[in-house]
Structures are given as C-alpha cells and as structure tokens.
Amino acid sequence: MKGKKLILLLVAAFVICNLIFVISPMRAAAQHIYLRMYWIVGDIADPDNKGIEGRWVVFYPAEGTSVFYSDDLAGTVGNSGRATQFMISAYKDFRTVLNPALPVGSYKCATVKGYVNGALVDDYGANPVDVTITGNGYDVVPRLTLVQGGGIEPPAARPVPDWLLALMPKIENVRFNDRKYQPGLVGKVGEKFIISARPKISAKISSPVPLIADSIAMTLNEGTAAVKTYRVTSAQFTGTKSMAEGGLTEVNFLYDFTTMPVADSLPDSKDPQTIRIKAANEYGTSVEVCSVYIAAGDLELVGDPIAFPSPLHIKTERKVTLQYGLTKDANIEIYIFDISARIIKKWAFSAGMMGGQAGGTANPNKVEWDLISDQGTLTGTGIYLFNIVDKDRSRVLGKGKITIVP
C-alpha cells in the first residue's frame, strides 16, 4: 500500500512538472504580447494637402472605442519622429488586450476628425481601417488617407492607475536657467514664472525600463496651430544611466537656446505659454506641463523691488536680500547709497545669470548682501537706498530702501 502511494505521488509530480514546462513558454509568450511593447505603425496620405503633422491617430478595438484605445501624433511630433508616419504603443491603454486569434475587423485605426496637436482645426480625417494582429510585436496598418469629413469623434480621456504611473518615466527637477520650476507656486493667483526667449532648460528623466529612443521632446503651445516641437537629442544629454543589457534608464539634459539659431528662439508674448516636456517608455508617455510667460517688450521690472528683512536688526542679523523681477535677461548693476548719496556697495550681473535673469513673482532675482561695504567695513545703522540699473542703457529700472536698526 505504501509503495502504491509513493508511485502515485511520483506520477503526480511528473505530470505537474510537465505542465509547468508547457505552460511557462505560453506564459512568457503572453507576457510578450500582453504586457510588453507592441507597436502599431503606419503612414498617412494627404491628397488635398491639409497637413499630416500633428494629426491625432488612434488604435482601438472595434468594441469599446470610447475608452479602450492607444494613440500617437503623426509626423515629427510623435513617436516615429518622421513626417507622415505614426508609431502607436498598443499598451498605452493598459486595459487593451491584443488577441491574434480574433478575426479581421476586431481592431481599427483612424485619425480623429479635424484634430491637430490637440486642437480642432478643420474637418479632415482618415476613416477607420482594419488592423490585423499577428502577435509578432508590431503590425503595419494599411495606409490611412485624409479626406474631408473623415475620421472618428474624439475618444474619452483614459484614467491611468497609480501602478501604471509608477512604471512610466518620471520627469523632475525642471529648471529654466538655474531656477527650479515649482508647479504649486506658479499655480497661485498672481504668480508669474517669466523666462527669456532664449533660456537654458534642463530636467532629469528616469524610468524603471529603458526609455524609447528619441522620445524626449519639448513642445510649445501644444493644442494650437502655433505649436513648436524641440527634440532633445544625445547632444543635449549631460548625464545618463543604462541597464546592463542596454537601454537608457536615466537622462539628464540641458537644452540651451543661446546656442541655437535665433529663429529657434521662443516667441515673445504677454499671454501665458505652455511648455510640455515629454518622455516615453513601453508603458506610456509622461508629460510635465510648465506654464510660463516669455519676456516681451522693453526691459522692465516686474512689480516693486523689495529688501527683506527690513528693518534689519544689526545685532542679530547680518544679511539682507534684495528681490526683484525682470521681464528679460539683462546686464544689471545695483548700487547701494547712504543718506549722503555716497556709493557703499556695487554689484554687476551678466544677462542670464542670477541677478540678471528674466523672472516674475514666482522666480525673482535674489541678491544677498552681508552688510560689508566695498571698502571692507561693516555698514552701520541708518537708512540706505538702492538702485537697479539697466547697464546697457544706463537707465534706472527701479529703486528700493533698506532700513538698518540697532
């Protein structure tokens, strides 16, 4: 009896091991098809010359168009980076399940009627075509054609769960020149983050899986006809990290507009502008949205310059900060006078550096003074005046007062 039980146990173990051996490759294949990257690629014909760049392309199951879909922008602003083409990550919507066994017609691809870079601009679109899913990791869509009245209606926005967000790229430490962009501060009423037309924009991008090559980009005013796209290439990388088997998982970049042609400068505007920094991996595209004002018109101060603390108690405090905003990067000089109009302290700041940077109430220039005069002596109590001067035009932009008490 004991011998029979042992034989049965051995047979059961053998069957289980064989099942695991058979199922494991199936599971690995399923992960390749259902949990990893799967590309839907194609191009668009434009017989009426209405423009392909930025057209909103959508891949979706024939059932569930309004919720279950993945998308891309056609042309150089999209994942393909090539005019007339698109490259959709089929799992941008994590709920979409690709099944090669389903009949032709189960999956569709089309453009959204009239939408270019997120804005409705005309009534042209490409009607749905059938997409055959092969399970090979990518499938080519039959050519789409823009026609008047063609396309589909805009699909509903997709909720993204926290677990998926954790797998997508993380964009952080966004800076304009050396000023960190802080969305919480900029969002306050009346706060303005002013930048120059030729800033130095930097950021850190990290990802738990390799980043998609050439996916890092910045767009200006996406959703309007005036959209501009700036691709971040390896020439702008200041530091990277890679996986052992290859593929970048961290990129630090610096996009320096001062080294670019003047024609590529950001346009002056008194209205708020939107700069979006983007990066993608196989799980989706992350976007960091920055609301900024781009310096426009003549150089001026933003608001009144202030000194703090003021009054300053010299027995307990030995530092005062002068704070002011500029509408443009500029060469700036600051003079501090005593009541006899004698200059006791002078600074000179280069355009684009702290003290000479464009900045509003959310990112002002801050100049610290330790109360030591240019002659090396500690300044005594009293009232002092300071002037902020446009060095290139020898023009006083603004004045302020510092009060020092015992």
Q: Is the pLDDT of residue 52 over 80?
A: yes
Tell me which of 28 and 90 has the higher pLDDT.
Answer: 90
* Calpha distance 43→145 (Å, rounded): 9
Structure tokens at 355: 């003290």
Yes or no: say if 354 and 385 are a contact pair by the CB < 8 Å rule.
no
- The β-bridge relationship of strands 312-313 and 395-405 is parallel
The pLDDT score that the predictor gives to residue 118 is 83
For the CA atoms of 138, 144, 150, 154, the dihedral, rounded to the nearest 10 degrees, stands at 30
pLDDT the model gives residue 327:
86
Kindly tell me if the per-residue pLDDT of 10 is higher than 80: no
SS3 of residue 200 by DSSP: strand
Query: What is the residue whose two structure tokens read 């930048």?
Result: 195
- Domain 301-405, architecture per CATH: Sandwich (2.60)
Mean pLDDT of 71-88: 92
CA distance 16 to 3: 20
Asked if the model's pLDDT at residue 160 lies above 80, the reply is no
Residues of the chain by 3-state class (helix, strand, coil), percent to 5: 15, 40, 45
Other Cβ atoms less than 10 A from the Cβ of 295: the count is: 27
pLDDT per residue as tens digits for the range 296-340? 678 889 888 999 998 999 999 999 999 999 988 899 999 999 999
Residues 275-291: tens digit of each pLDDT:
999 999 988 889 999 99
pLDDT at 3 over 80: no
Q: Which CATH number fits domain 39-148: 2.60.40, 1.10.10, 1.20.120, 1.20.144?
A: 2.60.40
Q: Using an 8 Å Cβ cutoff, are 117 and 57 in contact?
A: no
Q: Residue 23 has what pLDDT?
A: 31
In this structure, is the dihedral angle defined by the CA atoms of residues 62, 286, 54 and 192, taken in order, positive or negative? Answer: positive
Alpha-carbon gap, residue 319 to 368, rounded angstroms: 7
Which residues are registered as beta bridge partners of 336? 345, 386
Band of the pLDDT at 2, cuts 50, 70, 90? very low
pLDDT for the residue 311: 92
Domain 162-294 has CATH 2.60.40: yes
What does the pLDDT look like over 228-252, one tens digit per residue?
889 999 999 999 999 988 899 999 9
Partners of residue 386 on adjacent β-strands: 336, 400
